[in-house]
Structure 1
Amino acid sequence: MIDVYSSATPNGHKVHILLEECGLPYRLHYVNIGAGDQFKPDFLAISPNNKIPAIVDPDGPDGKPMALFESGAILVYLASKVGRFLGASDRDKFNTLQWLMFQMGGVGPMLGQAHHFRIYAPEKIDYAINRYTNEAKRLYGVIDKQLVDHPWLAGEEYTIADIATFPWLRSWKNQGVEIDEFPHLKEWFDRIAARPAVVKGVAAFADVHKPLTDDKSREVLFGKTQYEKR
């Protein structure tokens, strides 16, 4: 039974979705990031960067427990564990990994900044809002172009590249994007959203997660609490 320490965020949902797709047994543990659960010593012991998600697999590669943080690393680990969603050949695997890195290095950070400056920032800074909204649209365009000739981001197979990217695009309205302007992306998005494992994966913690818009949550996530030495 894999223990999953997570929350209802795009990075958390990546792991929830893949676990459902893989059929691996897992147990969810809610990390209330608005209340500061991510700074507790027990969580820091498995996720030293105080970010969700993190997992502990009691049956690691050498038969010993394996703890992992960073959502991209977790996806690669789980896909490798079951021998699916990573690509069959070496060429396929590297192609999948480049699109996973595209999500980790571009889609996640840039759309995260769009969310922050459009929704969470205490003051509206036009330069920041325009910069990250425009970058969000550019990234949507890159994805849309890739999907013109391919059913999935890495080619002919549904992989962790798709699983990693999809949750970040669920909030396209908050990113200042009109998804209908990207028809190939929208068709891909709708196909993924309809998958039973995805429906179940994105429902994780829906009953306990609350919008992080109160002053306390903002301070924990974006104020001095985030930057204290631990």
Structure 2
Amino acid sequence: MKPIAIYWRNAVPNPAKVVIILEELGLPYQSKWLELEELKQPAFESVNPNGRVPAIIDPNTNITLWESGAIVAYLVETYDKDEKITYTSFPEKYLLQQWSYYQASGQGPYFGQAAWFNKFHHEKLHSAQERYGNEILRVVGVLDSALKDKEWLVGTKCTYADLAFVMWNINIDFVMASGPVKWDIEAFPHFKEWMDAMKARPSVAMAMKSLQEKEIKSEGKI
């Protein structure tokens, strides 16, 4: 199998979400790192006209694909024939989609806005910081409640739906540290236990390490 090219950059949760799936499925891949100024250049816009990461090129099927949710769905449907991190049974298949859509529409945008207004906006807008900080607490509360009586969001194993949340969740401490809304993971014990289980997975550890180092040295991946 030829390596799948993945375009991504450091410290960005959504591309790492795709790397985790590649690792979980044992797929060969080649990291193509992009700096911020490269995203809106013609070379990358020919891959993703939206000028955002992640994007992949899979030479095994001749597909170029962008948007992390679409990429994850493609990788799972195409390569997870043993259902290592998915289910095709009813109703699990649709419950996985439910949580995947919630991550893409509920977690990612709110957490991203919290990061922007707490860390990067040129002025401190307390109302925006408070709104998006509270949205983080709300989303985490939904997850904590859903995990009250079970280990994983769907079924009895860790799936792509669980893993979709992990990288943004790992960044909560960073995002909330300079904002007005207090964050205490101990207030969400089921969420914490779930996160600890995912952070212990080699795929998540690899994604976290590569975000810090800007390269993956194991198994010939660069």
TM-based fold match above 0.5 = yes
CA positional deviation for 1:45: 1.4
**What letter is aligned with 2:63?**
M
Q: What residue number does 1:66 align with?
A: 63
- Give the gaps of 5 or more residues in structure 2: 177-182, 216-222
Structure 1 92/68 Cα, relative in aligned 2: closer, same or farther at 3 Å? same
Structure 1, 92-101 or 78-87: larger mean CA deviation: 78-87
CA distance in 2, matches of 1:192, 1:102: 18
Cα deviations by residue, 1:20-76 (Å, 9 ceiling, x for unpaired):
11000100000112xx1111212111211111000000111xxxx100000000101
**What letter is aligned with 2:8?**
S
**TM-score, with length taken from structure 2:** 0.87
- The percent of aligned pairs where both chains have the same amino acid is 37
Structure 1, 130-139 or 76-85: larger mean CA deviation: 76-85
CA distance in 1, matches of 2:151, 2:175: 24
**Pairing partner for 1:199 from 200, 205, 218:** 205
Q: Are 1:136 and 1:175, in contact at CA under 8 Å, matched by a contact in 2?
A: no
Name the SS of the counterpart of 2:72 in structure 1.
Answer: helix
CA distance in 2, matches of 1:48, 1:164: 23
- Give the gaps of 5 or more residues in structure 1: 210-230
Q: What residue number does 1:150 align with?
A: 150
CA distance in 2, matches of 1:90, 1:179: 33
Q: What is the correspondence of 1:154-193 to structure 2 with a 5 Å cutoff?
A: 154-176=154-176, 177-193=183-199
Structure 1 163/178 Cα, relative in aligned 2: closer, same or farther at 3 Å? same
**What letter is aligned with 2:185?**
I
CA positional deviation for 1:205: 4.0
CA distance in 2, matches of 1:121, 1:154: 37
Q: What is the correspondence of 1:115-126 to structure 2 with a 5 Å cutoff?
A: 115-126=115-126
Q: Are 1:16 and 1:202, in contact at CA under 8 Å, matched by a contact in 2?
A: no
**TM-score, with length taken from structure 1:** 0.84
CA distance in 1, matches of 2:97, 2:123: 37
Cα deviations by residue, 1:109-157 (Å, 9 ceiling, x for unpaired):
0010111111111100111011000111010000000111221122322
Q: What residue number does 1:137 align with?
A: 137
CA positional deviation for 1:81: 1.5
Q: Are 1:144 and 1:183, in contact at CA under 8 Å, matched by a contact in 2?
A: yes
Q: Are 2:107 and 2:139, in contact at CA under 8 Å, matched by a contact in 1?
A: yes
**What letter is aligned with 2:4?**
I
Cα deviations by residue, 1:163-200 (Å, 9 ceiling, x for unpaired):
11000001122343221111000000000001112111
What is the RMSD of the two structures over their aligned residues, measured on CA atoms? 1.4
Pair 1:37 & 2:38 matched: yes
CA distance in 2, matches of 1:16, 1:189: 18
Q: How many residues align?
A: 203
**Pairing partner for 2:16 from 3, 13, 16:** 13
Q: What residue number does 2:28 align with?
A: 25
Q: Are 1:17 and 1:202, in contact at CA under 8 Å, matched by a contact in 2?
A: no
Structure 1, 7-16 or 19-28: larger mean CA deviation: 7-16
Q: What residue number does 2:218 align with?
A: none
Name the SS of the counterpart of 1:42 in structure 2.
Answer: helix
